[in-house]
Amino acid sequence: MKNKKKLNLKKTAGFTLLETVVVISIFTIAISAIFSVEFYGHKLFLQQQDLAEVTQNGRVIMERFTREIRQAKKIVNVITEQESTAPSQIEFQDGHISSIYATSTPQSISTTTITLAAESSSVNDFYKDSFIEIISGWGNANNKTRKITEYDGSTKIATIDQPWQTAFPTVGSVYKIDSGYYYIRYFASSTEVYREVKAYYFPSDPNSYLPHNATSTSETLTAKNLEEPRIIGEFAQSLKFWGNRVINIKINLVKNGQSLEIANKILGRNL
């Protein structure tokens, strides 16, 4: 009789189907929880980012309003006493720079500067924030108005906010600086807040700036932009101005569902 060798087979360790299903279920729950935390964390981050951007825009807009309305000489448009009938724009006579009138020919011109006449002020930044307009001569067509951003009283050099276009003004051109009647207008369009600077004149004498309420029996007062509308802030859902000497302002800002309301009261020093 042949001896048969008995083989001792070791039972291989493994997972049952039930154990596998349990492990997969736990793994799926854990992954879902991790992704949920990550998703909501990212969503919260974006919401806080939107709110921070809205807050920054509101702060910049309100600071600009406060600084300029506080110095305003006169409110031009009708501002009611009640918030319910408050307009969404305000226009006022600029009061933060002195009344200046000067007209002459420049000593020289460069791309971004103009050297004013020798008799011009020797005080640094005397003409800063004033608008210089070429009223005749070369450059009159393409370079009507520029804003002076710096002025050196010793050299008489005024730096402008935008380069001169071809053809440049020349020493034979005539410039005018007249800051007596600048009007600033703030308004909202869509979700953006704009600032523009205007002047008023009669068509028969476009180089003489006048009060906003000047009258004539034969002419209609006309407005022109010295500075085109520029965006100073975004996300404005609504904008309101109301009051008398104390001007109330309310701005509602919204971005991606994140909203903020900012309100302020400004006492006009010169109103």
Q: Give 26-83 pLDDT, tens digit per residue.
A: 877 877 777 676 666 666 767 788 889 999 999 999 999 999 999 999 999 999 999 9
**134 and 51 in a common domain:** no
Question: Full-prediction pTM beyond 0.85?
Answer: no
Cis peptide before 223 (omega within 30 of 0): no
Could you give the percent of the chain with pLDDT greater than 90?
72
Sign for the CA dihedral angle at 99, 105, 110, 116 comes to negative
**174 and 188 in a common domain:** no
**127 and 83 in a common domain:** no
Residue 240: domain span: 21-96+182-271
Answer with the one of 179, 212, 245 that is the final residue of a domain.
Answer: 179
**136 and 73 in a common domain:** no
Q: Are 160 and 113 in contact (CB under 8 A)?
A: yes
How confident is the model over 91-137, as pLDDT tens digits?
999 999 999 999 999 999 999 999 999 999 999 999 999 999 999 99
Tell me the C-alpha distance between 2 and 218, whole Å.
138
**Averaged over 182-202, what is the pLDDT?**
96
Does the pLDDT at position 141 exceed 80? no
Tell me the C-alpha distance between 117 and 156, whole Å.
7
Query: Which residues are CB-neighbours of 83 under 8 A, at least 6 positions away?
Result: 240, 242, 248, 250
**170 and 150 in a common domain:** yes
Please tell me the least confidently modeled range out of 37-41, 172-176, 265-269.
37-41
Token pair, residue 133, equals 């307009």
**41 and 138 in a common domain:** no
